[in-house]
Amino acid sequence: MNLTPRLFKSYASRNVNNPRLRKTFRFATHHALEKRLQLVQEVPEWEALRDRAHQIKEEVIDHLDFYLEGLETHVTANGGKVFWARDGKEASDYIVKVARRIRAKTVVKSKSMTTEEIGLSRTLEENQLEPVETDLGEFIIQLAHEWPSHITAPALHKSRGEVGELFAEKLGIPYTDVPEELCEAARKLLRSKFLKAELGISGVNFALADTGTVVIVENEGNARLSTTMPRVHIAVMGLEKVIPSFNDLPVFLRLLARSSTGQKQTSYVSLISASRQPGELDGPEEFHLVILDNGRTEILKDPRMREALFCIRCGACLNTCPIYQRVGGHAYGSVYSGPIGAVITPLLQGVEVAKDLPYGSSLCGSCSGICPVKIDIHHMLLWLRQQVVAGRHTPWQERLAMKLFLAGMSDSALYRLGSGALRLAVRLGGAQGRPLKVPGWTQTRDFPPLAERSFKTLWKELEKTEAGRAHP
Amino acid sequence: MRAGSAQYHRTTGTDPGIPSESLRSLTGGSVLRVPVSAHQQGLSSTWQVWELRRHAGKQLSLASFLMLLRYRQISRSKGSWVASMKASLFIPCLTDQFFPHVGISLWKILRKAGAEVDYPMEQTCCGQPAFNSGYHMEAIELARRFLNVFRNSEYIVSPSGSCTSMVKMFYPEILDGADVHELLHDVTARTYEFSDFLVNVMGVKDLGARFPYRVTYHDACHLLRELKVKEAPRDLMRHVQGLELVEMEQSESCCGFGGTFSVKFPDISTAMVEDKAAAIAKTGAEYVVANDSSCLMQIGGYLSRRGAAVKPLHLADLLAQSL
């Protein structure tokens, strides 16, 4: 599989017919949803929290310049360095430059979708650095040279047997599928990397404009190690990750952990405000914050799409999506999968590249219903479809069909004529009362027969008999 | 806002307002349903009624609350008033061509409930197929057409949650900023899915129907998540004599229809209905009921291909069985 959303249709079709993969995703997503539901029910103010989070995000995204500058001011005042990256290349180049300056060889990374988005590990490798993913899921997919199949659980697609085989092959350990043993093997290897690494790279869950603090949530402790052990820490954030204040943080922390992993709180919440201060014993000597645009300001320009920047990457919409549950994350051909991926990917990469993604939804709306920050995901998919059509990326046959459809529906006489002609054709073809054949439908489902008489016809007859009754 | 963070909140935000759901619960779910005839009692136009509904949805002022209570009393006290309600059938194109019996059933039900029923012959399609495929220009034209066809209707009632939400939820999105502002809000406010209309507008739950079978109910996505109608169909079924309602697992998960999605992504669509069919089978129901012919076409099409005994049935058809 290649990392391109162009192939969504064929990937999806392949994955949906893979029973093992379907079982894996079904189990994992349902499990996550159950845990989430249980915890959400314990919070009577859940809906108010969602509304509040939406409000805060709206305020931030509408005044991003203000909050980002606040963030920069405070990070700088704390002794950190802020780098504004227009795109992935600028961000990667900056990180490589820092790594070269400090003569780093080993780079430990904690889980970060933003660095996945810009393919940072590949760039580091190309520059003779050794990037090591330290989140267990990310570690697995790094060994397998794959990309994440879920925003919060990157190796969701792998069974423990597959992980066992992978570890046996790549790490040279005897095969086992016992999770504890696999975990132990990864831990052993990662410990040595933590001790060796000169540079630590992390993502950012939230960046607080009023204190210059970056907040990282995780469950394995690897992010804390990655950000404290090496001499230099670089945090990479999409520019939408800023929130106004420390006081807003609890709203998001409560929403995020429950929505993503079904926890009240993740095992670790790190708040990093600066590098090591005089008199302190530990912490990195340097702290850098890379603030990445990479197409986000383009999204900002479109008021209808702006909400895409509200996303806190919890993955709940993936879990609840009936499409994602059946095709898995890799089908989307992008590091961002599921409903929010179907919104973000076309916005970041262009609708022409990802034109099938917005159509890969039954518009059931369960994504919007679960989103902790109330992003109207499925309505945005509809507007993206409009962009696909406006860009003339749909087949000409479909455009023609729509013109005919409009003509037929714009005039009720024409509509009735068409409806009569259709019935005549069916009768002449000897298919009366028999299920119609519809390509794409009839392979797996019966299509109903055309009614002998349409409602319009029935209604006219009804009116006659009713009138007859009224005036005998 | 809060002390200490003023500097970083540019504006003074407010605390979470009262969500509209809580407003509904305050008055037993029907607070936002203001009968049009109530205009004569004080509100001069449907436009104002709509405005009232809009504001009421956002925040509850004492005045609007009292007004709403008043209308509620009017609709309760005047039994004869209900009888004068006029409902125009909005029969979606799919129903017209493939399931006309659903339209006839709806006519019977509404008449039985005491409404005067008509059917504007000029109607065709609400435009949803075009809209859902991204053809907004085409959808806008059909939306304008719809508004004109139904402009004189007192109530517009449809046997489809999906087509109703096209009118109620999506017309305002695509006609945003268009020159039909007033007509738009006037018409969309008077458009209802039929179970919602019966229970929450007419206040009718018992139609005297009898249906001695075990049924299970599928929550159609648009009806449930766009229009937030979950209880009305169940209320109606609970009042059907002999009917045993067995809830299926995950009644809220999509059947996989999704309009053109069902033919653009047939594999996924089928995988979805496969699970739906399994959930239905588990209930041991003889009928699977829904309020949307499109869902029933998908579920029924799969069931019949598999030779399953359980039959798809539109709620309107169920309720009209003994009428």
| CATH number, domain containing residue A168 | 3.40.50.10420
The alpha carbon of residue B48 is apart from the nearest alpha carbon of chain A, in Å, by 27
Confidence of residue A68 (pLDDT cuts 50, 70, 90): very high
Pick the residue of B9, B99, B224, B253 with the most A CBs within 10 A to test the interface with A by mutation: B9
Evaluate whether residue A203 is within a structural domain. yes
How many CA atoms, within 13 angstroms, populate the side-chain half-sphere of residue B32? 24
Mean pLDDT of B213-222: 98
Contact status of B228 with chain A (Cβ, < 8 Å): no
Of all residues in chain A, the percent with pLDDT exceeding 90 is 92
Instruction: Locate the chain B residue with the closest alpha carbon to A63.
Output: B10
Structure tokens at B5: 């963070």
Confidence of residue A153 (pLDDT cuts 50, 70, 90): very high
- Number of domains within chain A: 3
Residue A1: domain span = 1-42+305-394
Res. B106: pLDDT tops 70:
yes
The pLDDT assigned to B322 comes to 81
Evaluate whether residue A101 is within a structural domain. yes
Strand A232-238: give its sheet, edge to edge. A81-85, A286-292, A232-238, A199-202, A106-109, A130-133
In whole angstroms, give the CA distance from residue A76 to residue A73. 5
Res. B33: pLDDT tops 60:
no
Does the beta-carbon distance from A248 to B256 stay under 8 Å?
no
The pLDDT assigned to A436 comes to 80
The vertex-A404 CA angle with A401 and A406, nearest 5°, equals 110
Helices within A42-84 (DSSP H only): 46-62, 64-77
A214 within 8 A of A272, measured Cβ to Cβ: yes
Mean pLDDT of A33-61: 97
Buried b (16+ CB within 10 A) or exposed e, B194-214: bbbbbbbbbbbbebebebebe
Does the beta-carbon distance from B21 to A455 stay under 8 Å?
no
The pLDDT assigned to B62 comes to 52
B95 within 8 A of A455, measured Cβ to Cβ: yes
Same domain, A128 and A245: yes
Instruction: Locate the chain A residue with the closest alpha carbon to B99.
Output: A451
The pLDDT assigned to B10 comes to 54
In whole angstroms, give the CA distance from residue B143 to residue B123. 11
Which residues face A81 on adjacent strands?
A288
The alpha carbon of residue A339 is apart from the nearest alpha carbon of chain B, in Å, by 14
Same domain, A281 and A376: no
Same domain, A77 and A223: yes
Of all residues in chain B, the percent with pLDDT exceeding 90 is 71
The pLDDT assigned to A82 comes to 98
Instruction: Single out the residue in A271, A294, A317 at which a domain terminates.
Output: A294
Same domain, A143 and A31: no
In whole angstroms, give the CA distance from residue A292 to residue A296. 8
Q: What is the mean pLDDT of chain A?
A: 95
Instruction: Locate the chain B residue with the closest alpha carbon to A364.
Output: B221
Structure tokens at B52: 């009232």
The pLDDT assigned to A429 comes to 84
Res. A419: pLDDT tops 50:
yes
In whole angstroms, give the CA distance from residue B214 to residue A169. 56
Confidence of residue B146 (pLDDT cuts 50, 70, 90): very high
Instruction: Please tell me the least confidently modeled range out of A2-6, A10-14, A319-323.
Output: A2-6
Instruction: Locate the chain A residue with the closest alpha carbon to B130.
Output: A402
Same domain, A247 and A315: no
Does the beta-carbon distance from A382 to B129 stay under 8 Å?
no
Mean pLDDT of B72-87: 54
Same domain, A20 and A92: no
Evaluate whether residue A102 is within a structural domain. yes
In whole angstroms, give the CA distance from residue B42 to residue B25. 25
The pLDDT assigned to B3 comes to 39
Domain B81-202 has CATH 2.40.128: no
In whole angstroms, give the CA distance from residue B19 to residue B294. 31
Which residue, among A319, A327, A324, A254, has the nearest Cα to A31 in the 3D structure? A319
**Nearest CB to B141 within list A17, A388, A406:** A406
Q: State whether the Cα torsion A172-A173-A176-A181 is positive or negative.
A: negative
Residue recorded with tokens 């993969």: A21
A241 within 8 A of A207, measured Cβ to Cβ: yes
Evaluate whether residue A300 is within a structural domain. no
Q: What is the mean pLDDT of chain B?
A: 82
What is the DSSP-derived secondary structure letter of residue A217?
E
In whole angstroms, give the CA distance from residue A57 to residue A242. 9
Mean pLDDT of B183-212: 96
**Nearest CB to A409 within list B8, B125, B173:** B125
Where in A75-225 does DSSP place strands (E)?
Answer: 81-85, 106-109, 130-133, 199-202, 206-208, 213-218
In whole angstroms, give the CA distance from residue B126 to residue A286. 61
Which residues face A208 on adjacent strands?
A213, A243
How many CA atoms, within 13 angstroms, populate the side-chain half-sphere of residue B242? 10
Residue partners of A334: CB distance under 8 A and separation at least 6: A3, A4, A5, A341, A344, A345, A349, A354, A357
Contact status of B133 with chain A (Cβ, < 8 Å): yes
Crossing angle, helix B266-283 and helix A8-16, to 10 degrees? 30
Mean pLDDT of A108-119: 97
Instruction: Give residue limits of the domains in chain B.
Output: 6-75, 81-202, 214-320
A5 within 8 A of A345, measured Cβ to Cβ: yes
- Phi, psi dihedral angles at B307 (to 5 degrees): 70, 25
How many CA atoms, within 13 angstroms, populate the side-chain half-sphere of residue A132? 26
Report the relative pairing of strands A213-218 and A268-272 from DSSP bridges: antiparallel
Query: Other C-beta atoms within 10 Å of B120: how many?
Result: 18
Of all residues in chain A, the percent with pLDDT exceeding 70 is 99
Structure tokens at B122: 């000029």
Residue recorded with tokens 């502002």: B181
What is the DSSP-derived secondary structure letter of residue B210?
B
Mean pLDDT of B231-251: 97
Contact status of B13 with chain A (Cβ, < 8 Å): yes
A305 within 8 A of A380, measured Cβ to Cβ: yes
Residue recorded with tokens 């016992």: A178
Burial classification of residue A143, based on how many CB atoms lie within 10 Å of its CB (0-12 exposed, 13-18 middle, 19 or more buried): middle
CA A94 to chain centre: 26
The pLDDT assigned to B295 comes to 98
Per-residue pLDDT of A156-183, as tens digits, reads 999 999 999 999 999 999 999 999 999 9
Does the beta-carbon distance from B133 to A389 stay under 8 Å?
yes
Confidence of residue A125 (pLDDT cuts 50, 70, 90): very high
The vertex-B15 CA angle with B13 and B18, nearest 5°, equals 125
Instruction: Please tell me the least confidently modeled range out of A93-107, A301-315, A424-438, B153-167.
Output: A424-438
Same domain, A275 and A347: no
Which residue, among B220, B305, B229, has the nearest Cα to B259 in the 3D structure? B220
In whole angstroms, give the CA distance from residue B1 to residue B211. 57
User: What does the DSSP assignment read for B27-47?
Assistant: TTT-TT---GGGGGGT---HH
Does the beta-carbon distance from B2 to A63 stay under 8 Å?
no
Query: Domain B214-320: which CATH class?
Result: alpha beta
Res. B2: pLDDT tops 80:
no
Comparing B81-202 with B214-320, is the CATH topology the same?
A: yes
Structure tokens at B303: 């069931």
Same domain, A224 and A109: yes
Same domain, A249 and A124: yes
Mean pLDDT of B120-138: 97
In whole angstroms, give the CA distance from residue A365 to residue A324. 13
Instruction: Single out the residue in A294, A320, A336 at which a domain terminates.
Output: A294
Evaluate whether residue A299 is within a structural domain. no
Per-residue pLDDT of B249-271, as tens digits, reads 999 999 999 999 999 999 999 99
Instruction: Single out the residue in A331, A364, A394 at which a domain terminates.
Output: A394
Same domain, A102 and A214: yes
Res. B302: pLDDT tops 70:
yes
Residue partners of A9: CB distance under 8 A and separation at least 6: A356, A360, B265
User: What does the DSSP assignment read for B235-296?
Assistant: HHHHTSBT-EE-PPTTTTS--S-TTTHHHHSHHHHHHHHHHHHHHHHHHT-SEEEES-HHHH
The pLDDT assigned to B76 comes to 44
Mean pLDDT of A189-198: 96
The alpha carbon of residue B295 is apart from the nearest alpha carbon of chain A, in Å, by 11
Same domain, A5 and A81: no
Confidence of residue A39 (pLDDT cuts 50, 70, 90): very high
In whole angstroms, give the CA distance from residue A423 to residue A108. 69
Mean pLDDT of A329-347: 97
Confidence of residue A472 (pLDDT cuts 50, 70, 90): low
> CATH number, domain at A24?
1.10.1060
The alpha carbon of residue A195 is apart from the nearest alpha carbon of chain B, in Å, by 39
Instruction: Please tell me the least confidently modeled range out of A421-430, B168-177, B311-320.
Output: A421-430
Instruction: Please tell me the least confidently modeled range out of A127-141, A382-396, B42-56, B76-90.
Output: B42-56
The pLDDT assigned to A469 comes to 75
Query: Other C-beta atoms within 10 Å of A128: how many?
Result: 10
Res. B154: pLDDT tops 50:
yes
The vertex-A152 CA angle with A358 and A92, nearest 5°, equals 85
Res. B27: pLDDT tops 90:
no
Amino acid at B210: R
The alpha carbon of residue A320 is apart from the nearest alpha carbon of chain B, in Å, by 9
The pLDDT assigned to B12 comes to 40
Per-residue pLDDT of A82-95, as tens digits, reads 999 999 999 999 99
Same domain, A158 and A275: yes
Residues of A with Cβ-Cβ distance to B300 under 8 angstroms: 446, 448
The alpha carbons of chain A give a radius of gyration, in whole angstroms, of 27
